[in-house]
Amino acid sequence: MADDTTATHEPHRHDTREALLFGGVYGAVLASSMVAALSHYGHTSRVSRSYDAAWLLVTAFASALAHGYAHYIAERAPHRRGDALRVLAEEWPLVAAVLPTVLILAGAGWGWWPTNGVEYAAFALNITLLFALGLVTARWSHRPWEAAVLIGAVDALLGVIVVVANAVIK
């Protein structure tokens, strides 16, 4: 029987598909939740929408850092130099998933489109993103189209739950 104390353990690496699905779903739900929370008080000025965009971006980076750090410290294997940066860099899909919503909010802040009701466009975008992520990752896993559409619909349901909760809370 080999002595486990001499074995070198490689830190868990998330494959790109796993990171894309997790980060994408987490980011899209985070974006919808933040838009719901930030628009709860009815502030719809250009300045408010720019502020909302900035806060969403800050929250996305903070969430990515917190999640990456949690992965890093949860690994019980010895770490090599650079592992912390690698783990943090693997959180890019979370930040990337919120960028379209940041652009919608920032665009309203910059006067590209009306500021009133822009949260509904953000909700629709994120629900669509959740559906697409579920569908694509299910197809990557060689699931039949019927199952892939169902998985996409269940993922999209997460976004619908946020929208419904927002409507009920208001």
The pTM score is 0.82
Count the residues in the chain: 170
pLDDT at 6: 44
- pLDDT tens sequence across 112-127: 999 998 999 999 999 9
Closest CA to 57 of 18, 114, 120, 99: 99
Residues 15 and 8: their CA atoms lie apart, in Å, by 20
- pLDDT tens sequence across 33-50: 899 888 877 778 899 999
Residues 47 and 82: their CA atoms lie apart, in Å, by 40
Local mean pLDDT, 10-residue blocks, the chain (170 residues): 47 66 88 86 85 94 87 70 74 92 96 92 94 92 94 92 80
pLDDT at 9: 47
